[in-house]
Amino acid sequence: MNKKSQSLADDLKPYIAPFRYDGSGEFHLKSYKTNEKGGLDKDKATKIIEANRKRLNDFQEKLYAQDRWSMLLIFQGMDAAGKDSAIKSVFEGINPQGCDVWSFKQPSSRELDHDFMWRSMIALPERGRIGIFNRSYYEECLVVRVHSEILAKQKIPERLVTKDIWKERFEDISAIERYLARNGTVILKFFLNVSKEEQRERFLERLEDPAKNWKFSLADIGERKLWAKYQAAYQDMIHNTASKAAPWIVVPADHKWFARVVIGSTIVAALEELDLHFPKVDKADRSEFKQVREALLAEGKGEGTGKNKK
């Protein structure tokens, strides 16, 4: 790592390291605060967010041009945790040509005729691109676990639905993520950790703002009653699927501006490690460029002469 890269890594480390879990040691979700600010105020955070956008734009262009690596970003969290707005903010100004955003809703009948990973696998990012999953295959270890009736509709042979099914899904997901990492996909998984009280405030805001009414559903209130079950499911899932190749970042999400600092910094730092650069042009191509340049210059002189005659 060169001095510039090391300096960037050091600058961003305070907004990444405390929230990153890669499977090393114990994991206790309750030990992660939802209202952390990292010693920042909103003004300082805004400057970091803007700087990260510029860095991300630069890295994304090189990632696309180099066409070697791909990046998969997974966003999970309770309703109103801020997934949509975080994605919109962090990627503001980024060339959409190099990014794909997928939002996975309730599975269709066609999707239910496949294994639970299928619809996500066909949406994986190509080399040179960033794929963003707004919710993902991890819903299969969250909402499906909390609502057993959903699992019953997944057409899995009955004898395969045992008490070990969640452990098996963790194993399958980890194996696939390891495979993707070995083939050049950088995987970062963000859990937007919002408090129950903050979620309540955001629900009230949605009800009071006509522009946000469409986001609210009575089902959201029903899910709040299952808060403890979801927290237990997240605890088990993160503990069993975090790895160095595919770490979880437990993002403090009560303050949206700080969540965006953590998310943007994590992505930028990961891209910095790839040593991205624009492809080098060999001597033969440079020779052709010279000929093309001369032809274009000659063409321009010809057009100028024509204008003078008029």
Domain that holds residue 140: 3-279
Q: Identify whether residues 31 and 148 lie together within a single domain.
A: yes
Q: Identify whether residues 275 and 287 lie together within a single domain.
A: no
The pair of structure tokens assigned to 216 is 């609210």
* Alpha helical stretches, state H, 79-117: 83-90, 109-112
Round to whole Å and give the CA distance between 269 and 145. 33
Q: Identify whether residues 308 and 184 lie together within a single domain.
A: no
Q: What is the pLDDT of residue 296?
A: 82
Q: Identify whether residues 38 and 59 lie together within a single domain.
A: yes
Round to whole Å and give the CA distance between 176 and 78. 24
The pair of structure tokens assigned to 74 is 């997974």
Q: Identify whether residues 19 and 48 lie together within a single domain.
A: yes
Q: Is the pTM here over 0.75, yes or no? A: yes
Q: Identify whether residues 297 and 203 lie together within a single domain.
A: no
Q: Identify whether residues 21 and 161 lie together within a single domain.
A: yes
Asked if residues 66 and 129 have their Cβ atoms less than 8 Å apart, the reply is: no
Please tell me whether residue 308 adopts helix, strand or coil conformation.
Answer: helix
Q: Identify whether residues 266 and 288 lie together within a single domain.
A: no
284-309 pLDDT per residue, tens: 666 777 778 888 888 877 666 555 54
Round to whole Å and give the CA distance between 173 and 101. 20
Round to whole Å and give the CA distance between 177 and 245. 8
Q: Identify whether residues 32 and 101 lie together within a single domain.
A: yes
The CATH number for 184's domain is 3.40.50.300
Residues in the chain: 310
Q: What residues of the chain score a pLDDT lower than 70? A: 1, 283-286, 302-310
> CB under 8 Å to 1, separation ≥6 — which residues?
9, 273
Number of domains the chain contains: 2
Pairing verdict, β 99-103 and 248-252: unpaired
Q: Identify whether residues 229 and 167 lie together within a single domain.
A: yes
Asked if residues 132 and 102 have their Cβ atoms less than 8 Å apart, the reply is: yes
Q: What is the pLDDT of residue 285?
A: 67
